[in-house]
Amino acid sequence: MNHWKQLAMSGYYWGTLPARRRAAKRRAARGGEPVQILFYHRVADEHPNDWTMLTQAFAAQIDWLRARFDIVSLAEAQARIAAGCNRRPTACITFDDGYADNMRFAVPLLLKHDIPFTYFVATDHVFGGRPFPHDVAAGQPLTPNSLSELRELAAAGVEIGGHTRSHADAGKLSSKQLVDEIAGCKRELESALDCDVRYFAFPYGLHQNLSVAAFRAALDAGYEGVCSAYGGYNFPGDDPFHLRRIHADPELIRLKNWLTVDPRKERNQRDFESGSYRMEGTRTPAVCS
C-alpha cells in the first residue's frame, strides 16, 4: 500500500472507529458477533512477493489478534455459526498451498502460543516437491512442504485440509475433474497422514472460482466445511458449511479495518449474497437464549 492510500485507510479507520465500537456492543448484546477467518500463504523474509508476509508483520498481527479475539479452530467456528449466537469477537487462522518456509517462523510461533490453525495443501505439490506454477511464472520457484513436514504438523495437532490435487481452479472444471481434484485430494491426504481431513479450501477462492457443483463435490466427498477467499464475514445463523475468509494483508491497518467490521464491506457482502447466485444455504437471524 502506498503512503497516500495508507493515510486514507488510517483516516477512514480512526474516523469510523467510535461507530464501529458502538455497533460491536450491539452485536455482542444480541449474539451477532461474526466469526472472521483469515488466510495466509507464506511467512518469510526472503524472496518476498504478493503472497508472502514478513515475519515481523505476521508476529504483530498475531499479537493484535491474541489481545482482542477468541482464536478458535474451524470446528469451533462452525459451532458458533450454527448456534445462531456468538457474543465474543472470534477469529480463525488458516494457510493455503503449503510452503516449507512456514515451518521456520509462523508454525513455531502459533504452536508456542497454542493457537489452533488449519493448513490447506495441494497434494501434487507437497507430495511431489513441485513448486507452484504461480511461483515459477514469477521467476522464483519456492519450495513446498514435504510429506514429513505435514506429518509433523498433524502430530502436533494441526488441522490439515485439502486444497485440490493440482491447485486447480474449480470454477473451470468438469464434474469428473471436480471429483478427481476435491475428493482425490482428501483420499490422498488421509492415506498419507492417517488422519481425517475435514475441511477444503478452494484455490483462488473468488466468486468466479466457485460453483454449486464444486460445493456439491466437496459435500459428497465427506468434507465438513469449505472455505472461499473473496473476503466476507461469517455471522451467527449463516450456513456453517461455507466458511468465508479474509485475506490477511501485510499492512496491520487493513487487518484492523476488516476485523473491526467495516460497514462498507458488510454491506457489499449482503448485497452480493442477496442476489440470484448463492453458495450453500442462506442466512437466518441470530437467536440467543
Interval 26-62: pLDDT, tens: 999 999 999 999 999 999 999 999 999 999 999 999 9
Q: Which three cell numbers stand for residue 91?
A: 477469529
The pLDDT value recorded for residue 277 is 38
Q: Which fold has domain 28-251?
A: TIM Barrel (3.20.20)
pLDDT band at 25 (very low <50, low <70, confident <90, very high): very high
Interval 85-140: pLDDT, tens: 999 999 999 999 999 999 999 999 999 999 999 999 999 999 999 999 889 998 99
Other CB atoms within 10 Å distance of the CB of residue 4: 8
The pLDDT value recorded for residue 5 is 83
pLDDT band at 225 (very low <50, low <70, confident <90, very high): very high
The pLDDT value recorded for residue 135 is 92
Among the listed residues 146, 143, 150, 152, the one whose alpha carbon sits nearest the alpha carbon of residue 46: 143
Domain boundaries of the chain, sorted by first residue: 28-251
CB 117 within 8 A of CB 58: no
pLDDT higher than threshold 90 for residue 222: yes
pLDDT higher than threshold 80 for residue 209: yes
Interval 235-288: pLDDT, tens: 999 999 999 999 998 999 999 999 999 988 888 786 666 443 344 444 555 567
pLDDT band at 158 (very low <50, low <70, confident <90, very high): very high
Mean pLDDT computed over 161-171: 97
CB 113 within 8 A of CB 218: no
The pLDDT value recorded for residue 266 is 85
Look at the pTM and tell me if it is higher than 0.85. Answer: yes
Q: Helix crossing, 147-155 with 184-193: angle to 10°? A: 70
Collect all residues with Cβ–Cβ distance below 8 Å to 80 and sequence separation of at least 6: 35, 72, 86, 90, 236
Interval 57-72: pLDDT, tens: 999 999 999 999 999 9
